[in-house]
Amino acid sequence: ADWQAGMFDAKSLADAVKAMGGDNYTISKDVSVSGPEIAENGAVVPVVVASAIPNTEMIAILVEKNPNPLSARFTIPAGTEASVSTRVKMGGTSNVHALVKADGKWFIASKEIKVTLGGCGG
């Protein structure tokens, strides 16, 4: 797919979603974001985005509070599982979203990942 500045330059979650064409999305239990509850390192946060919705053609990862929320957008060809694992940078505690396009419809799921100062312990 072509890299389009519009979606990556967007400064808010709403604008980034809009730039991808998905401003009418619904929250879905069939979409998931997995990752640590507390990041070990805000610069390297492992995230898995997945969809169990048939005919999922696209999954995107968005970090709501990053200056530019969109991290990556994956086109899923037939035969590839709608599940991608990668690592993202997070400027601070934020919701991380998986945005999915399937059969022309848009779906989303979210998870809060905390970025902390560290120290202390039992």
Query: Of 87-116, which residues contact other proteins (CB under 8 A)?
Result: 87-90, 93, 112, 114, 116
* Residue 54 CB-half CA count within 13 A: 0
Q: Does 104 sit near Mn ion (CB under 5 A)? A: no
Which residue, among 119, 75, 111, has the nearest Cα to 93 in the 3D structure?
Answer: 111
Checking DSSP bridges between strand 83-88 and strand 70-75, what pairing results, if any?
unpaired
Q: How far is the CB of 55 from other proteins (least distance, A)?
A: 15
Residues 6+ apart with CB under 8 A from 63: 69, 71, 88, 89, 90, 91, 94, 95, 96, 97
- Applying CB under 5 A, the span of 34-42, 65-73, 94-102, 114-122 interacting with Mn ion comes to 114-122
Residue 37's binding partner, choosing from other proteins, Mn ion, none, with beta-carbon cut-off 5 to 8 A by kind?
A: other proteins
What is the contact surface with other proteins in residues (CB under 8 A)? 1-4, 8, 34, 36-38, 40-41, 43-46, 63, 66-68, 70-77, 79-81, 83-90, 93, 112, 114, 116-122
